[in-house]
Each structure stands twice: as C-alpha cells, then as structure tokens.
Amino acid sequence: MFQQNDFVERIKGEVSLESYISRYVKLKKAGRRVVGLCPFHSEKSPSFSISPELNVYHCFGCGKSGDIFTFVQDYEKVDFRRSLEILADYSGIPLQSQSNKEDAQYKQRLFEINAKFLTYFQENLESAEGIQAREYLKKRGIDKTIIHKFELGYALPGFDNFSRSVVRTSEDVSLAQKLGLLKLSNSRGGGTYDFYRDRIMFPIKDTSGKILGFGGRLIRDSEEAKYINSPASPIYDKGKTFYGLYQAQNQIRKSRVAILVEGYLDVIGLHSKDIETAIAPLGTSLTNNQVRNIKSYADKIKLVFDGDKAGKSAAVRAAEICLKEGLPAEIVVLEDGKDPFDLSRTLSNAEISEILTKSFSHSEFLLQETLLHTHISSSPEEKRKAIENLFTFIKSLERETDQQMYLSEGAKQLGLSISSVLNDFKRGTGVTLDDRKVDIKKSGKTSEKGNTAGIVYSRKIVSILVLHPEFFSYIDQLLELDFEDGESAFFWEILYTKYMNSEPISLDILQEEGFPTEIRSVFMSYILELDDSEETEESRKNIFEEYLLLYKRANKQRELENLSTGVGVLDEKNRLSRLMSVRSEILQIDQKLRSLNYTNGRG
C-alpha cells in the first residue's frame, strides 16, 4: 500500500535541493554551503544559503527557510499537495494515488487495534492487579463516574504484557508499533517491548468517539517521564485535536465558549465539577490548526494556565496564536503553584467558576506580558527593554490594524508619544504601516543585535540537539536550564516531548504542519552555522558543554548586574550575600570554560 510519506522520503533522499534551486538562482560554493541572491526578495549581495548536506535553505536577509517542499510552495505559491505534483514531474518519481478503499481499510485496522488496547487497559484497572491504580485514582479524588466518562484504564508493569495479552499475530504487532504502543528493543534480540508500563491510561478520542491514541501517567515515583503520549500516526495528529473534546463538544457548542487547560487531569478535574467545556492540547503547545478546528465549536476561548513563568509563557504563546487566527480569547492566570486539577479537589463549582471569571482580555494580557509589566513610572532602561519586546511582537502580527492598535496601546501604557513609538518602529524594522516594504538588511542586523548572550546560547543549545539528539544524554543538565527566550522554550518543549516519547528527532520537525514559520526561520540560521563547522565527535561534545556553561554564565551575569543595581532585592544584607555568591559561581564557571577551551584548542 502506497503512503504519501514514502514519496516524501524518496524526494528528500533522491532529489538535490541545490540542483533544484539552481534552476532559478545562480549559486556558488562558499565553504560547505552554496550561496546566491535570494529568490524571495531583492538584494545585491547574496544572503541566500543552502546546506547540501542537510538539504535545507535559509535566507539571512528575509528569513525564508525550509526544505525542498517549502521552497516549491513559497516560490510557486502553491499548497503542499501541488508541491508534491510539481516535484513528481521534475524528478520522475511517481506520485501514486493510494486507493481510498485501501486507505480506509488500513486506518480501520489501526482504530481496531487501539480499541482492543482500550478494552485491555480498562479490564486491567478493574482487575486484582489494578488495585494500586484504583487506589491512586481514589487518592486523587477521581471517582467511578469520571473513570467511566473518560474511559480510564491501566497499563500493567512489565515489558511483554501487550504481546502476551493483546497482539498475537505479526500483523497486529506491526500495527501496534505503528501506533507507538510497542517499541523495538535493542537489548531484546530485535524484539519489542511495551511502551506504557505501570501507568494510568487516558484514551484520546476524535469527535466521533474513535480512539486516536493514548496518554499515560505514572502512578508512583520513577526516573521515567511522568507523562508519555502516543506519537503521530496515520490516524493521529496531536497538533489538530484536543483531549476531552469528545466529551466537551456538545457543551461547547451550546455555550460557544471553550476552556483550554494544560493537561489530562486538569480536564478531568473541571469536568468532575460540572465545568464541561474544558479541553487540553496534547503533549505540545497550542497550534494554529487546533485553534482553526475549535472555531467551528466556539466563538471564544478561555485560556487557563499556571501562574509560574512556564505557565505565563505558554499563555502568551497561545494568546498570540488565537490573535493571529482571529479567535477572541480571555486569559486566566492561576495562583503560582496551582492548576485546575488542584482547584477541583478543594473548591466547589461556584468557587471555580468565580475564579474563571477573573480573566484578562486578549489585548490586556498580551500587552502586560510583552511590556514586562512596565508602566508610566518605570525607569528608562525598563521602558527601553519593553519597547524592544513590543517591536518583536508587533513584527509577528499580519494585520496592519493589529499592529497599529498594539503600538498605540503600548505607547499609552508607557507614557510615550504614539508618534515617536511609531517612528521608531518604522526605522527599526523598515516597516511602514501604510506600505509594508521591508529593508531586509537593516531588519536582519537589528534583530541580531537585539539578542542577549543568553538568547544566543539557548538557541545554539537547542539547535545542536535537533542536529545531534545524542546530546540528550545531558538531560539532567538540560532540565536545569530555564529558557527565557520564547522561541527556545517553544522548540525545547517539542524536542523534549519527542525525546520522552522515544520519537525520532531530526530537522523534519521544523517542516511539520503547524510548526511556526517565524521560529523555523530563527533556528535555521543557527543550524546552518553549526553545520558549517567540521568538528570531531569529541570536540562537538566539548562545544556543547561549553554552550551549556556559557548560557549559565550569561544568566548569572545578568543576575549580578541586577544585584549591583539593587533590582529585585529586599534588603542590603541579602543583596551583598547573594552578590558574593553569584560572583563565586561565575568564577567557577570561568574555570570550567578555560578547561574546555584548552581541550578544544581554542584557549
């Protein structure tokens, strides 16, 4: 049976991006790359770069980037399907049409396998072996009514329960692997092992009730990830659906309002309090496709996130997507350390409903977070940083009316002249709100200068991980990092989720449907830079360690500067004590860096 993915992989493996683009652009060799004048904007000096090894391109002027399919779509101004047809004609590789009947039969078999596993998981939960799982649910306040409503189950401990109890034929084993229920083992003689072990199982359904995949949560302390989820499959695209939408769809249609929370238990907790419009994205940040889909059910979405820094960052990202997709949103930021499931265990329906009414409007929340909560009385330095953030945000908006509105409101909040803020925006980005022409060179330089050392090293760390996933062996150190750069945090979340789900990590992630083009553009420049260096395995390891240290040093240096000026410090005694401590930590990092530089031959 022919799969579209087969054709895509053949094109990537057999068609040279350099050869294809050279039909439109005169290219010349420049080290490991080839360069030329960008076909997407007018320029006199070449800023368009191709990596023949990675088969990707990036323009350091206008930011256009991608693979051969992206190039065809952007250059020919066609959709993905048409780009396949164009590349089939060019390459001679046949784009076969898969029979609808074969496709339907294959997907039906996958749905049947998922259904078999759900029955198995539910039986486990009710069995004698499921007593600890039932106790865990009882302890968390999840009663039988909710267990049945969401069809929760339990995956037993052990590595071969699935093959002994659920899938016995080679075809079923193959289908279970396709769905991510079974994984190939390197240590079991080429056999398979159960992906979900000793976990509460959450079935993920489409709106008709068919099972697309599963999420699993550990019921006891372990070094394994607390949550793992089904990978993408022919029947499951986590970027297009929501957990709980099957149960919530009727109530959302009635109220025309959806409540978006972060996880499975948050959805279950709110439903247990009869707040039945709660849904959650699936193991990833909210995507444009998910917002487009929910618009057919709701006229407004209420975003409910934790009050910690990660929660606020996720809320900002979600709010920006809703703004771009034209879906009105309200944002509820909970008390730091609390989530909707916590609320459901201690508060009544009326009390939770009251909290959900205390929301920020779309524009109010985005302005507050973008301007870093600065105001008319803030210092010039704080206002300058807020304006830089505001300009970065404004550049991501497509509608001129949105640009005008947020620039004007931002200026008012900071007590600045609207005309001066508009003029600075035009000069800094080359954009006029009346005529959106871009001075490519100027905007590129301005953007790069605006990046702090911490931002640069966070992006280099994430870029190395997508090129060399083996560096996830540093997972303990990586989890200590706190990516304040929104782009790095977004990409890191995707990579970490794939790592924890044992999904492949490669450059293809940047081409996945729903991956933001602006974030792809940001990272492609770093990826091409890293690909240029001819490093040995050992030196690459040292460079990665160096970036980890440099990122930590940048954060410590910023803390040192804040302490030196007294920002965020309550009393002088604590300030001086912390000042000495941070200086000592920087010295320790510098010692480690000198050692690495010596090893790398760069010291």
- State the architecture of 4-91 in CATH terms: Alpha-Beta Complex (3.90)
User: Residue 35, by phi and psi: left (phi above 0), alpha (psi -120 to 50) or beta?
Assistant: beta
Q: What is the CATH number of domain 245-360?
A: 3.40.1360.10
Residue 318 has pLDDT above 50, yes or no: yes
Is pLDDT above 90 for 210?
yes
Residues making up the chain, counted from first to last? 603
Distance of CA 178 to CAs 89, 236, 239, 336, 599, Å? Answer: 30, 11, 18, 39, 44
The answer, yes or no, to whether residue 310 has pLDDT greater than 90, is: no
User: What's the order of all strands across the beta sheet hosting 28-30?
Assistant: 28-30, 33-36, 48-51, 56-59, 65-66
Give, rounded to a whole angstrom, the gap between the first and last alpha carbons of the chain. 57
Structural domain boundaries of the chain? 4-91, 100-229, 245-360, 371-448, 453-600
| Architecture of the domain delimited by 100-229 | Alpha-Beta Complex (3.90)
Q: How confident is the model at residue 432 (pLDDT cuts 50, 70, 90)?
A: very low
pLDDT of residue 438 exceeding 50:
no
Residue 261 has pLDDT above 70, yes or no: yes
Q: What is the pLDDT of residue 566?
A: 61
Q: Are 402 and 362 in contact (CB under 8 A)?
A: no
Cβ density class 416-441: b for 16+ within 10 Å, e for less:
beeeebbeebeebbbbeeeeeebebb
Computed on alpha carbons and rounded to an integer, the radius of gyration of the chain in Å comes to: 26
Report the 3 state secondary structure along 201-240.
EEEEECCCCCEEEEEEEECCCCCCCCEEECCCECCECCCC
CB half-sphere exposure, 530, CA atoms < 13 A:
24
Q: For 525-574, what is each residue's pLDDT tens digit?
A: 899 888 766 677 888 888 899 999 999 998 888 888 777 766 555 466 67
What is the pLDDT, as a whole number, of residue 97? 55
Q: Residue 362 corresponds to which tokens in the numbers above? A: 């779309």
Burial class of 291 by CB neighbour count within 10 A (0 to 12, 13 to 18, 19+):
buried
The CB-side HSE value for 42 (13 A sphere, CA atoms) comes to 3
SS3 434: coil
Burial 99-136, CB ≥16 within 10 A → b, else e = eeeebeebeebbeebbebbbebbbebbeeeebeebbeb
| Residue 251 pLDDT greater than 90, yes or no | yes
Nearest to 487 by CA among 443, 512, 524, 513: 524
- Mean pLDDT value of segment 215-233: 90
CA atoms of 158 and 336, how far apart (whole Å):
37
Which residues make beta-bridge pairs with 203?
Answer: 214
Please write the tens of the pLDDT for every residue from 94-141. 876 556 677 788 999 999 999 999 999 999 999 999 999 999 999 999
Q: Which of 13-17, 60-64, 102-106, 597-601 has the weakest average pLDDT?
A: 597-601
Nearest alpha-carbon partner for 148 in 113, 116, 115, 122: 122
Which residues are bridge partners to 188 per DSSP? none
How far out from the chain centre does Cα 228 lie? 15
Q: What stretch of H or E contains 329?
A: strand 329-333
What is the DSSP-derived secondary structure letter of residue 479?
A: H
Return the bridge partners of 332, or none: 304
Q: How confident is the model at residue 331 (pLDDT cuts 50, 70, 90)?
A: very high
| 105-119, 353-367, 421-435: least confident range | 421-435
- Mean residue pLDDT of the chain comes to 85
**How big is the CA angle at 214 (ends 178 and 150), to the nearest 5 degrees?**
150
